[in-house]
Amino acid sequence: MRRRPGIGGLQSAAVARDQYRLLGENVAKLRTDLMKEQLATFRSQLEDFARKHKNDIRKNPTFRSQFHEMCAKVGVDPLASNKGFWAELLGIGDFYYELGVQIVEICLATRPHNGGLINLQELCNLLRQRRKSNREAVSEDDCLRAISKLKVLGNGYEVISVGKKKLVRSVPTELNKDHNQILELAQAQGFVTVDEVERHLSWTSGRAIDVLDILLEEGLAMVDDGHRDRKRRYWFPCVSSISSSLGADS
């Protein structure tokens, strides 16, 4: 716009600015309305979909996980509250609430053995054993969702990744990088020796022993002096599957 001098020029420039803004607002509003409308359509279709596939969502864990993904994309959290449309329609809140309670029970029951750190896979197996009578299958994805809902209870329950595995932590222990590396190393055989830690992680033996001692103190490791080679082995119940039957009994 070519600038004209004087009051008149300033005024007309201001008017033009206002008009531009108005136009811009209109366009934005139009867009928002359109998007709102699309979203509303999408939501109602999602609801129709949910209503139609209610049983699949309830019974088929793969289907359920895909449904959750879809919901997340549209900004719907079926687990946000136990009231309202989604919960009533699917009873899905109750399902995860129940899973959450059972997960807490399993974590408590196996804690004496594993120090409050359990393999996700194993937690799922225990959960399935416990829910034998229920017909609905439970996937690891369901476990993760239920655990994420447990976070509201405080910083107790958390999922951590160690190597390729996921572990569920039910005690407020902080695991640092050193701890994680040892847990990862232990996944191969269920145990490590000081020698192995030194060799694989290129640590000094002092560092290896310090970290292993901490893991012992935390109740995450147990020593085994019974092997023929007389070398002390540090076992980690959270990466072995031994606790499955332990937990099931109690």
Partner 1 sequence: MMQKLGDFKLPAFFNYPPYFTLQPVRDTREKQIQLWKELILDYCRTQKVFLILLEEEFPLFSNPVIERSLNNEARETFLSALVSEGRAEWLDKGHRKCLILWHRIQDWADIILGFVKDNGLEDSVMTVEEIRLGIESRGTELHGMDRTILMRALKLLEHKGKVAIFKGTSADDEGVKFSV
Which tokens sit at 141? Answer: 């994805």
Pick one of 199, 225, 230, 239: the residue that binds partner 1 (CB under 8 A): 225
116 dihedral zone (left: phi>0; alpha: psi -120 to 50; beta): left
Selected binder of partner 1 within 104, 194, 209, 242 (CB under 8 A): 242
Residue 196 binding partner 1, by CB under 8 A: no
Instruction: Give the start-end residues of each E strand in 120-241.
Output: 158-162, 165-169, 191-192, 222-224, 233-235
* Cα Rg of the chain, angstroms: 28
CB 210, min distance to partner 1, A? 15
- Binding to partner 1 (CB under 8 A): which residues in 102-121? 112-113, 115
Please give the sequence-ordered ranges of beta strands (E in DSSP) within the chain, or none if there are none.
117-119, 158-162, 165-169, 191-192, 222-224, 233-235
Which of 222, 229, 238, 239 is in the footprint of partner 1 by CB under 8 A? Answer: 222
Judged by CB under 8 A, does residue 179 bind partner 1?
A: no
Q: How far apart are CA 73 and CA 70, in angstroms?
A: 5
The least distance separating partner 1 from the CB of residue 244, rounded to whole angstroms, comes to 7
- Binding residue for partner 1, selected from 17, 128, 199, 227, defined by CB under 8 A: 227
Binding stretches for partner 1 (CB under 8 A): 112-113, 115, 191, 216-217, 219, 222-228, 233, 235, 237, 240, 242-246, 249
